[in-house]
Structure 1
Amino acid sequence: MSEVIQQGVVALNEKLDGEGFDGLAKFVIEEEGTIVLDSDGARAADDDADVTLTASAETFRGMMDGNVNPTMAFMSGQLKIDGDMALAMKLAAVLS
């Protein structure tokens, strides 16, 4: 597992604050791996999901540390979303 994935799992679980995520979402971090979020929290996995968000490691790190707004990343093409847009918006609220 890459360091980006390890750090991402930790950061996402901190943002979820022990609450888990009501849905099944997956982050694909290009050239690094995947992270799945569900009611149990975030973990390194490549399960099928209701929504898949794809970004570079740089964009993903920026979203985790608050320097990149997920909505703006999507609008500028830095973040690709495939699947349930309502669930993606819910996830964006968690990341903010």
Structure 2
Amino acid sequence: MSNAKEIFDTMLTRFDSDAASGLNAIFQFELDDADPYFVTIDEGTAVYEQGEHDDATVTLSMDTDTLEEVMSGELDGMQAFMQGKIRADGDIMLATKLTQIFPVP
């Protein structure tokens, strides 16, 4: 199992600025077994920081295994959500775009 920071490092290497064009959003990740992180997408750039953002667009709660599986393509994000492995709060439609913004290789 990777640690959360490694997962976010890998995510950002796959960032698709075209898919994120015109998008300004903050994805908050509440990890059951790690520190929280948030990813800010703005003007075709993406950065992540450890901690909690007080104005997240969407908050996704899961454990690091689930995050790693979704971001590696092993697990479909929508299926994980339906199975209760991911809990979402806020702009749920935005959450569905996560794998378009950070595509699996």
- The answer to whether the 8 A contact 1:16-1:41 is kept is no
Query: Could you tell me how far 1:53 is from its partner in structure 2?
Result: 0.3
Q: TM-score, normalised by structure 2?
A: 0.74
- The answer to whether the 8 A contact 2:71-2:99 is kept is no
Q: Does 1:55 align with 2:62?
A: yes
Q: TM-score, normalised by structure 1?
A: 0.80
How many residues are treated as equivalent by the alignment? 93
- The answer to whether the 8 A contact 2:4-2:64 is kept is no
Q: Which moved more, 1:57-66 or 1:39-48?
A: 39-48
Residue number in structure 1 paired with 2:29: 27
Q: Which moved more, 1:37-46 or 1:69-78?
A: 37-46
**Partner Cα separation in structure 2 for residue 44 and residue 94 of structure 1:** 20
Unaligned runs of 5+ in 1: none
Listed as ranges, the matches of 1:1-96 within 5 Å are 4-17=3-16, 19=17, 22-38=24-40, 39=42, 40-48=46-54, 49-96=56-103
Whichever structure has more helix as a proportion of its residues is 1
Which gives a bigger RCO, structure 1 or 2 (Cα 8 Å, sep 6+)?
2
- The answer to whether the 8 A contact 1:9-1:44 is kept is no
**Partner Cα separation in structure 2 for residue 13 and residue 50 of structure 1:** 18
Q: CA RMSD in A?
A: 2.0
- Spell out, residue by residue over 1:35-63, the C-alpha distance to the aligned partner (whole angstroms, 9 max, x if none): 21112422222112111001112111111
Q: 3-state DSSP class of the match of 1:33? A: coil
Unaligned runs of 5+ in 2: none
Where has structure 1 moved over 6 Å in runs of 4 or more?
A: none
